[in-house]
Amino acid sequence: MRVPQEVVKAFLPQAENVEAKPLGSGHIHRTELVESSAGQHVFQRLNSEVFPDLQLMMGNITQVTAAMRQRGEPTLDFLTVAGSDSYLARDQDGGTWRCSVHYPDTLTYDIPPSPAHLKNAARAFARFGQTLSAHQGFTLHPTIADFHHTPKRFEAMEKAWRDAPDERRALPDYFALRQSANSFPEFGLHGLLPPQVVHAVSHNDTKLNNCLFQEGSDQVVCVIDLDTVMEGNWLMDFGDLCRTSICPAPEDAEDLDEIQIDLQRFGALVEGYAEVLKDSVSQAEIDRMVYSVFLLTYELALRFFTDYLQKDRYFGAKYPQHNLVRTRSQLTLALKVTALRKEMEGLVRESFGV
């Protein structure tokens, strides 16, 4: 059984004819689509190594979904265990699960089908952050400390390098990562941290595949994967969304010649963000938009390399060099941003009218 019976019964005591199949391509949790007489639900076995306090995480998420609903915005709907107010159920092996309602006829994309999809995803993520940042009276706790603190990610990579087993010490990659850290010299690695930009609520994991689309259309249903919604800045979301969708090749492409920036896609993302945020962002933020794409991509290169040095304990790997391949593709993409900086900044100026 892909989802243990006791877990299905905990959330859906009446369910019969239960069938489960894998859903999506997230790296952290195991996600299953469960169809039963009770309807369609998404079950996730949560990764408690990555998120040490699952109660705190669900506490954040329920505040986020309540705030979104209160403001008339679409969002996810989590179930409590029948007869309790807990959003988490345990299986017999000690695993922890949650359950949410599945929106019918929806899907996610690893590779964007069109610029219109991208513009709509950008709008949805921008609106998500804007809505929650305007909401008063809730407290979101950090679910992972210093998640987008790139200088600390750099330090963590250095430490992992010192502690790594010899067979994982990929010297050219280590050298290339260190050499590339200063690609935007005026901002270094701390250009998105306070006091450089104002912090507010952001999603912090804006991969394109964390945006749910209606099947057969370019319309967004809602933003998903709310595990890292906490204090941050909209540029972190913009940068990460660009990272995952301006390049036609996947995050783990082996052929580095495939790593290119599609300026039309980038333009669509900038337009989507501009439509929502144009009148509320500062010049300092606009000046950091292209930098945010570099930084979030570089940060992922650091994180993948750190994981390679630590034997793949965070992201996992489908083959021994997988995290090294991911490192190289992300570093290549980050350096392409540096090379195309002028053209990309031109597109930002066009959309934001500055």
Kindly list the residues in this chain that would bind ligand GN1 in the complex (CB under 6 A).
26-28, 50, 205, 207, 210, 225, 227-228, 251, 300
* Residue 56 partner contact from Mg ion, ligand GN1, none using kind-dependent CB cut-offs of 5 to 8 Å: none
According to the 3-state scheme, what is the secondary structure of the chain? CCCCHHHHHHHCCCCCCCEEEECCCCCCCEEEEEEECCEEEEEEECCCCCCCCHHHHHHHHHHHHHHHHHCCCCCCCECCCCCCCCCCEECCCCCEEEEEECCCCEECCCCCCCHHHHHHHHHHHHHHHHHHHHCCCCCCCCCCCCCCCHHHHHHHHHHHHHHCCHHHCCHHHHHHHHHHCCCCCCCCCCCCCCCCCCCEEECCCCCHHHEEEECCCCCEEEECCCCCCEEECHHHHHHHHHHHHCCCCCCCCCCHHHCCCCHHHHHHHHHHHHHHHCCCCCHHHHCCHHHHHHHHHHHHHHHHHHHHHCCCCCCCCCCCCHHHHHHHHHHHHHHHHHHCHHHHHHHHHHHHCC
**Shortest spacing between CB 36 and ligand GN1, in angstroms:** 25
**Shortest spacing between CB 160 and ligand GN1, in angstroms:** 16
- Adjacent-strand bridge partners of 14: none
**Shortest spacing between CB 57 and Mg ion, in angstroms:** 11
Cα distance between residue 72 and residue 74, in whole Å: 7
| Residue number with CB closer to Mg ion (225 or 312) | 225
**Which residues have a Cβ under 8 Å from the Cβ of 257 and sit 6 or more positions away?**
none
**Shortest spacing between CB 299 and ligand GN1, in angstroms:** 8
* Residue 50 partner contact from Mg ion, ligand GN1, none using kind-dependent CB cut-offs of 5 to 8 Å: ligand GN1
Binding site for Mg ion (CB under 5 A): 28, 205, 225
**Shortest spacing between CB 213 and ligand GN1, in angstroms:** 16
* Residue 300 partner contact from ligand GN1, Mg ion, none using kind-dependent CB cut-offs of 5 to 8 Å: ligand GN1
* Residue 271 partner contact from ligand GN1, Mg ion, none using kind-dependent CB cut-offs of 5 to 8 Å: none
Give how far Cα 272 sits from Cα of 36, 144, 251, 316, Å: 38, 28, 22, 33
| Residue number with CB closer to ligand GN1 (153 or 271) | 153
* Residue 116 partner contact from Mg ion, ligand GN1, none using kind-dependent CB cut-offs of 5 to 8 Å: none
**Shortest spacing between CB 281 and Mg ion, in angstroms:** 26
| Residue number with CB closer to Mg ion (225 or 285) | 225
| Residue number with CB closer to ligand GN1 (53 or 287) | 53
- Adjacent-strand bridge partners of 39: 36
* Residue 251 partner contact from Mg ion, ligand GN1, none using kind-dependent CB cut-offs of 5 to 8 Å: ligand GN1
| Residue number with CB closer to ligand GN1 (7 or 226) | 226
| Residue number with CB closer to Mg ion (225 or 307) | 225
| Residue number with CB closer to ligand GN1 (26 or 272) | 26
Q: Which residue is nearest to Mg ion (CB)?
A: 225
**Shortest spacing between CB 327 and ligand GN1, in angstroms:** 12
| Residue number with CB closer to ligand GN1 (24 or 271) | 24
* Residue 181 partner contact from Mg ion, ligand GN1, none using kind-dependent CB cut-offs of 5 to 8 Å: none
**Shortest spacing between CB 51 and Mg ion, in angstroms:** 9
